[in-house]
Structure 1
C-alpha cells in the first residue's frame, strides 16, 4: 500500500520558533492548541491560537522533531511527505 499525504494547512501555519503547544484530552478526543504564524500570515495577530482536533485517539507523542534526520533523508517519510508546515 502506497503512503499518500494531503496538506491541510494551506492558509495557516504554526509559529515556527515558539508555537507553545497545549494538549487537552476530552474522552477519546485530543485537542492541540498552538500559536499561529503571524509572520507568514499577516491576517493573524501575534497571539492568535489555532486548534486541531483528533478523534479516536489512543496514544500521542508531543516532542521535538528530528529535523536533522529529516533533512538527511533518515526519517521514514523523508522525500515523500509534504514540506514542513
Structure 2
C-alpha cells in the first residue's frame, strides 16, 4: 500500500455534522461545492453556507461512503485518512486520484491536485488546480 499524506485544509471550520445539505454546481471549468457549516465548531451563524470553489476542475466523484462505512474500515482511504468529516488534499499518489470511476470534465492540468471531503452521508473528491471558500447566511 502506498504511503499517502492527508493535508487537512479546514482548520477552524467543518460541515454541519447532521444535515449539511451538500450540493455541487459547475460553472465552466469550476466546481462549486456548497454545504452548511457546523455552527458549534466555529463562530458561524446557524444556516451559514460555505461554498468551496475548485478551479480548473478536471474530474470529480460523489461516493456513498458514509461515516458508518468509514469507521468500519470501508472506503478507499478508511485505513489511511486521519479523521472522518474533514477536508483534505491527498498527496503522494502514484496515479493522481487513484483508479476509480471518475466523472471526467476535462484533461488534468499540469498543476492538478486531489481534494477529498468527508461528509456524514457521502464522500466527494475533486481533481483541480486549487480551491477557495466563501460563506453566506441563508434564510
TM-score range, shorter chain: 0.7 to 0.9
* Correspondence 1:83 to 2:83: yes
Structure 1: distance between partners of 2:67 and 2:38: 19
Q: Aligned residue for 1:69?
A: 69
- Structure-2 change in CA distance of 1:65 and 1:80 (3 Å): same
Q: Aligned residue for 1:17?
A: 18
| TM-score normalised over the length of structure 1 | 0.80
- Structure-2 change in CA distance of 1:36 and 1:24 (3 Å): same
Structure 2: distance between partners of 1:36 and 1:59: 25
How many aligned residue pairs are there?
Answer: 84
Answer 1 or 2: higher relative contact order, Cα 8 Å, separation at least 6. Answer: 2
Greater strand share, 1 or 2?
2
Superposed displacement of residue 17, structure 1: 0.8
- Structure-2 change in CA distance of 1:66 and 1:44 (3 Å): closer
The Cα offsets for residues 25-73 of structure 1, whole Å up to 9 and x where unpaired, read as 11111011111000222x1000111121112323433354333321121
1:3-82 map, 5 Å: 3-41=4-42, 43-62=43-62, 64-82=64-82
Superposed displacement of residue 5, structure 1: 0.7
- Structure-2 change in CA distance of 1:8 and 1:75 (3 Å): same
Unaligned runs of 5+ in 2: 86-139
- Structure-2 change in CA distance of 1:63 and 1:78 (3 Å): closer
Q: Which runs of 4+ in 1 moved over 3 A?
A: 61-64
Structure 2: distance between partners of 1:74 and 1:23: 24
